[in-house]
């Protein structure tokens, strides 16, 4: 394995034809106020986690993107603000049907870019071909599901409500300007899970791609430009301090949609001069535990824990990041688990059946090594022979046993391929871990006995927001609510919840008398208002 890892990166001549792109891709365009502008200022180089060995030297620069300044960033905000125009702009006043039409148009254009976006996902963040394709397709499906959910919402709100002598029409209205920032691990999907619902509800958007996974958005700029009125979606790039801080400090952002670390979320929220006017929708950190009971079916448990902890190299907010195993089965579990880990296919994102690929974050292998070393120094055992062997951005998963609270890996979110295993004798030990943890996203329990599972479910549902039984933690299906307690999230996202998060319930009310009834009838029958209307979209 060591030799395989030493030679993990391909030579240029060994690259398959179908994954190559005309590198470097130097993105100079940005979208503000419906126009694609050319950036002439400084640019940031994009490094791929995939090193290409060329005649002994290693090269991995694949392109660059604009390092914008404060002035340009504020232009993006101005465009979004003018397009919203205090709720009087073309977009917030557009009918839902018309907005849906814009999205249908966008989706058609977006699908034309599938091939290049998928390739850029592989090159920029090292995601496997299968997972990159899944990310793209899941995003398109998310847009279609959002359209369907909006139609449902519209149908349900088209019926007036009559209560205590008052007739009301209750609908959802937009909130204003939304700043959308997604994470590097799902740069397309997770960014779009806020961007799409925010826009479709009539808000206007300033959108900053994550630091890693920027170029893959560039093929979609033209589609955004052609599908939406000017200023509805605007893009910014560069250092947060230069391009995001001024936008937040302006006080003109109504909703912050951010998926990333608690630290950055706190900084951004504090920059707003009137925090009470800022609504935040945040997807933050997590350290989801698996709790494996004595009677668990080990075959299924190992399978779920492998995908749960190591899909996309463990770089998922929903990944299983610590595994508690009952002491009576811990040895057997470790033996079976490490055997499966050692069988995982390693390689480049486009390799057939590849499971473990290079990591995009700079110096990640060194950081993971520090965590492993710290744990071993404090008494943990490295269980798998290839665990922790690394070459540049490639790091083979390390399975650690005998982990305890003195070690950093017990507490921090590793966001990478380390699997810490804690042996317990009393179920209270993992439960205390969950209660005392700063995080509260999800947990997985593996076991057979329904009575024991029932008690654990009732305890855990007040600690985390999804309890998975004999199944790994995950976000999907996207119609399920996705959220967390404590440092893990603020607000709930799902296809339908997101429509609610980016809008506010608003109603028109009339005292129920003959005069008002005839006004209601006239307005609805003559179609004199889009809001006060009993029409609905089929």
Positions in the binding site for ligand G3H (CB under 6 A): 185-186, 190, 316-318, 474-476
According to DSSP, the residues that pair with 8 across neighbouring strands are: none
Nearest to 281 by CA among 506, 80, 500, 505: 500
Structural element, H or E, at residue 32:
strand 29-32
Nearer to ligand G3H, 7 or 263 (CB): 263
236: Cβ–Cβ under 8 A, 6 or more apart, which residues? 30, 68, 72, 73, 76, 206, 207, 208, 243, 244, 247
**CB of 490 vs ligand G3H, minimal distance in Å:** 15
**CB of 138 vs ligand G3H, minimal distance in Å:** 8
**CB of 124 vs ligand G3H, minimal distance in Å:** 16
Pairing verdict, β 25-26 and 57-66: parallel
Residue that has been written with the tokens 């974050």 in this structure? 361
Nearest to 296 by CA among 273, 329, 263, 250: 329
**CB of 474 vs ligand G3H, minimal distance in Å:** 4
Nearer to ligand G3H, 189 or 204 (CB): 189
Nearer to ligand G3H, 167 or 493 (CB): 493
**CB of 204 vs ligand G3H, minimal distance in Å:** 25
**CB of 104 vs ligand G3H, minimal distance in Å:** 25
Q: How many CA atoms lie within 13 A of 208 on its CB side?
A: 30
Nearest to 179 by CA among 254, 82, 87: 254
Cβ atoms 240, 264 nearer than 8 A = yes
**CB of 307 vs ligand G3H, minimal distance in Å:** 10
**CB of 493 vs ligand G3H, minimal distance in Å:** 9
User: Phi, psi at residue 331, to the nearest 5°?
Assistant: -65, -45
Nearer to ligand G3H, 169 or 191 (CB): 191
**CB of 317 vs ligand G3H, minimal distance in Å:** 3
What's the CA gap between 145 and 16, in Å, rounded? 35
User: Phi, psi at residue 526, to the nearest 5°?
Assistant: -85, 5
Pairing verdict, β 161-163 and 166-174: antiparallel
Pairing verdict, β 166-174 and 503-511: antiparallel
**CB of 218 vs ligand G3H, minimal distance in Å:** 23
Nearest to 243 by CA among 436, 494, 109, 68: 68
Cβ atoms 509, 344 nearer than 8 A = no
Nearer to ligand G3H, 175 or 257 (CB): 257
Nearer to ligand G3H, 402 or 478 (CB): 478
Cβ atoms 493, 145 nearer than 8 A = no
Nearer to ligand G3H, 318 or 357 (CB): 318
Nearer to ligand G3H, 185 or 365 (CB): 185
CA 274, 255, 240, 269 torsion-angle sign: positive
Nearer to ligand G3H, 474 or 496 (CB): 474
Nearer to ligand G3H, 184 or 433 (CB): 184
């Amino acid at each position: 394995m060591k030799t395989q890892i030493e030679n993990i990166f391909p030579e240029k001549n060994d690259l398959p034809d179908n994954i190559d792109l005309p590198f470097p891709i130097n993105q100079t365009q940005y979208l503000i106020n419906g126009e694609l502008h050319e950036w002439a200022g400084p640019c940031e180089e994009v490094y791929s986690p995939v090193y290409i060995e060329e005649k002994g030297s290693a090269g991995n620069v694949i392109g660059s993107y604009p390092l914008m300044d404060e002035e340009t960033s504020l232009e993006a905000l101005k465009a979004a603000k003018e397009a919203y125009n205090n709720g009087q702009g073309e977009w917030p006043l557009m009918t839902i049907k018309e907005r849906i039409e814009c999205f249908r148009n966008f989706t058609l254009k977006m699908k034309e870019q599938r091939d290049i976006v998928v390739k850029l996902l592989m090159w920029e963040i090292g995601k496997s071909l299968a997972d990159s394709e899944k990310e793209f397709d899941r995003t398109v499906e998310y847009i279609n599901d959002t359209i369907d959910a909006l139609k449902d919402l519209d149908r349900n709100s088209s019926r007036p409500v009559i209560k205590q002598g008052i007739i009301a029409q209750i609908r959802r209205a937009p909130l204003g300007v939304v700043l959308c920032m997604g994470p590097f691990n799902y740069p397309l999907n997770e960014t779009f899970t806020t961007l799409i619902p925010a826009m479709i509800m009539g808000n206007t958007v300033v959108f900053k791609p994550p630091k890693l996974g920027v170029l893959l958005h560039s093929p979609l700029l033209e589609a955004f430009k052609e599908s939406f009125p000017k200023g509805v979606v605007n893009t910014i790039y560069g250092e947060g301090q230069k391009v995001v801080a001024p936008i937040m400090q302006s006080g003109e952002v109504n909703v912050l949609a951010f998926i990333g670390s608690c630290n950055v979320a706190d900084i951004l929220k504090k920059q707003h001069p009137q925090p009470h006017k800022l609504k935040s929708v945040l997807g933050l950190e997590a350290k989801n535990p698996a709790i494996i009971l004595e009677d668990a079916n080990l075959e299924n448990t190992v399978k779920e824990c492998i995908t749960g902890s190591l899909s996309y190299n463990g770089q998922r907010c929903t990944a299983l990041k610590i595994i508690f195993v009952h002491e009576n089965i811990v040895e057997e579990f470790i033996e079976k688990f490490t055997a499966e880990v050692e069988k995982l296919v390693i390689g480049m994102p486009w390799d057939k059946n590849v499971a473990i690929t290079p990591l995009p974050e700079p110096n990640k292998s060194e950081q993971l090594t520090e965590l492993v070393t710290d744990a071993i120094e404090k008494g943990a055992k490295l269980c798998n022979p290839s665990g922790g062997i690394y070459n540049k951005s490639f790091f083979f998963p390390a399975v650690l046993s005998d982990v305890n609270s003195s070690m950093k890996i017990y507490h921090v979110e590793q966001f990478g391929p380390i699997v810490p295993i804690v042996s317990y004798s009393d179920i209270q030990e993992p439960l205390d871990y969950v209660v005392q943890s700063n995080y509260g996203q999800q947990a997985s329990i593996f076991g057979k006995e329904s009575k024991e599972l029932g008690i654990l479910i009732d305890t855990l549902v007040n600690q985390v927001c999804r309890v998975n039984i004999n199944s790994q933690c995950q976000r999907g299906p996207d119609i399920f609510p996705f959220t967390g307690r404590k440092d893990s999230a603020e607000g709930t996202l799902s296809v339908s919840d997101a429509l609610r998060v980016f809008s506010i319930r608003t109603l028109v009310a009339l005292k129920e008398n003959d005069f008002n009834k005839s006004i209601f009838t006239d307005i609805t029958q003559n179609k004199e208002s889009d809001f006060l209307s009993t029409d609905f979209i089929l």
